[in-house]
Structure 1
Amino acid sequence: MNIAAGKIAGAAPTIWARIRVQLGVGLLLAVLAPWAVRAWLERNELDWSALQNSLAGTLIAVVAGFYSFRRLSRYPGVRSSYHVLPSFAASFGIALTFFFFTRLPYSRVQFMASFGLAIVWYYFVYFKLQRQQRLIIGVVPFGGIRSLLGISDVEWVQLRRDDPEPDRYHVIVADLRSDIPDEWERFLADRALNGTLVMHVKQMEESLTGRVAIEHLSENTLGSLIPGIVFAKFKRAGDLLTALIAFPLMVPFLAAVALLIRIDSPGPVLFRQRRMGYRGQPFTMYKFRTMRHAPAEVEDARAAAMTRSEDDRITKLGRVLRHYRIDELPQVFNIIRGEMSWIGPRPEAVPLSLWYESELPFYRYRHIVRPGITGWAQVKQGHVADVDEVLWKLHYDFYYIKNFSFWLDLLIVARTIRTILSGFGAR
């Protein structure tokens, strides 16, 4: 269940789903309560300047964390509880960084107390909302609705015209492009007038799965997938800045990994491979070598570019590097050179990309944004190679392009940390 009130209606509204309760009580507990306790305990030797600065800083941090949390919770496929800690850690971290560099007086104890209380409160709200019943979605039995019925964690009910309780559904879904009988169109109009959310089947599938399927090269479909140009420019500037800052800090660690690779098995430290990149331009991508070195040419370039489950070419050290995604770190060079981003669709080897383009419609469209070290498909699906799996990955890529934004990138960062710790999707 999603804590964000704006997400496709969720369950029946309760007091816990209201913004004024979530934010208002959060401010009372996490901002005013620590401020009042500190003012009372230190009333004889109180530093009013530090007290007021801490009040303003924690207020801004809680509000920013709350709205960040709500924005992240709009996206499908993950529990809202996964977003609580990253959202507030980021907002409080930024606030503390501001005070550190401006040298304004503030209370670390008050900040820590505020941060802890905010985390406790929003986890409490989340679990309260989790106790509500799951979504009940009515489906109009015409057109392409079959794909919806296989989605779990939702109660699907195929509607009848004589349904005795038409108001019990949180959402009603219909294939609005199919030839729906007139009486059913009147039924949908009545439900909408009564306040029930009526959605098109593809819109509902996208909101529940985090995938966008493209079937027709129509102006409306393709036009909705053009990413934000302004954000793309800011994203590139942010990628370059963070890569330039991170690289000097990473050098000792990269050198240690390189030494371990040389000790573990013969061959070069770095693996270089031609990948299909931004706007369909091939580039050389760098990774730490995780497989046994095979200098001889292979006859089947497509098969050689694939990594299968339990691939016997992977070294013992390589499995560790792949599990924690350490082998991807040299791609900071590709980010500095403008060939990649921290976040975006994963670039495929050129032979695989050409194969997928020949088999899957609109595959080349994923190159409209820079490829990334991590991405929406990586945290949702993991590593894939076969064409049928790549089709699902392509749907995730299209979802990322359609929802191209800072907030989705922030969610992917949080999911990537979890993915690294769990080893999900590694091969």
Structure 2
Amino acid sequence: MSTESTSVPSPSGPAHRAGATAGRVTIASPPRDHAWEHAPRGLGTSGPLVPPSRRRPARTPARRALPLVAADLAGEAVALAAVRAGDDVVRGVAGAVLAACVVACVTALNAYAGLYDPPLNPSVLDRLPALAARVCVAWCVAAAGCQALFSAAGACAPATLAEGACVQLAVASACRAAVHARARAAARTGARPALVVGTGARARAVAALLVQHPEYGLRPVGIADAAAGEHPVDRAGADGGAALPVLTAPEDVHRAIVQSGVEEAVFVGADALTGHAGPAGAGFEGLLPLVRASGCGVVFVGDGGWETAAARPRMTDHLWGFAFRRLDAPGWRPWRGRRAKRLLDITVAAPALLALSPLLLGCALAVRLLDGPGVLFRQERVGQDGRLFTLLKFRTLRPLDDHESATRWNIAGDHRMSTVGGILRKTSMDELPQLWNVLRGDMSLVGPRPQRPHFVANFSKTLPGYAARHRMPVGITGLAQVHGLRGDTSIEDRSRFDNHYIDHWSLWQDVCILVRTAVSLVRPAGS
């Protein structure tokens, strides 16, 4: 797990250790909240960078989905009112249960199928079969649940179910049509900034189409083409006539995302997704994680190759005849996973604090009696999105000064550590106060282990992908830790495990890691 103090190890492990660098270090891939301050210059556009706090906030996928969710809820409300008016069985408690089941089933099924993803070409008819199938399934499931709970008293007649499903589908479709009409009108006046990623004529053709057809709601602000080389500016089509900068380096892409408030990244062709476009394989190998870590939506234009993004395609659409797929990251989706993860944290951490309170008191008394005052050790760590917080631990060693605390990598085997400190570290009981960090929301139970700003700055500059591990809440334990990567082990391996965990996140995986962590405490190896 974490350490209290630190000389800098090489990212590959303890065998290649380097000394700490003096002076203040800027994180290579800065957190979103401060990225505008450190973004590299050199983009072929003018104007000062605008900090995110002064820009209009981007509409997240969850906010864009709210009108469609409201349309479905309106349909459900009207249908349930019509059914309750014509059937005495669904009144009272049975009716309330039926309503709750219908709402939960329809919302869950539509969300899983991507029916709340705002379409590029809004049309009720295109999605009517998918909506109808899920409405019918939801009503059948709700009716079966009512009959199971209330026996014959809760049984719904087939005619009642058919009436409810038909009314809901009709009302929801009408409401969705109104939402789509408003979306088409808004797209022309408030198009979302988009970055086109790809090489050659097709990428430029897609950028030109977006300029010429504002009804798609995407306004290109640049073309990321690692193979462009000598052509820094591109004309995005004769009709559009808009001069678009061509970005040939990841630093320029990052600056464009920050400066222009890019909300969507449009990858054109399989080579754009894999990052192996251009001569001699030149490309943006880390661009897909970069745009996802920046909060951009990812869409793919092309007939095949999206499988290489390790992502799940949502509803297929078209962009003026080009196949258009919105790709959903396979793992951590903030607007979907944050609440479930937080609920798990509170459900486990609060009872654990109460159950372990005698042990916590015993540890505190042991440290106070044998090592003197100052039971808790407080240290600044880097959390999600680069935010700093104060991490709590039981003190196992008193550092000489703040510099040693911030820059010394490992204190294992230090002769200044007392017997009680050694026991706490070997059993990982020194980490128990971090349950309070979890309840406060500074940390999660499971996630990448937080590090000190000094090391985050150094590792972000030397390890590709290290900064991307901060797109998720940090944790007390993680996938790297249950694989034995604790203490003085490879930072490169830890970073790889952390990013794999985020890319393939699921609530069940968190539960498995917690169980494996509990089992590993039987065989303590220290931190």
Which structure carries more strand by proportion?
2
Rg: which structure is higher?
2
TM-score (norm 1): 0.45
TM-score normalised by structure 2 residue count: 0.37
Q: Say which structure, 1 or 2, has more relative contact order (CA 8 Å, 6+ apart).
A: 2
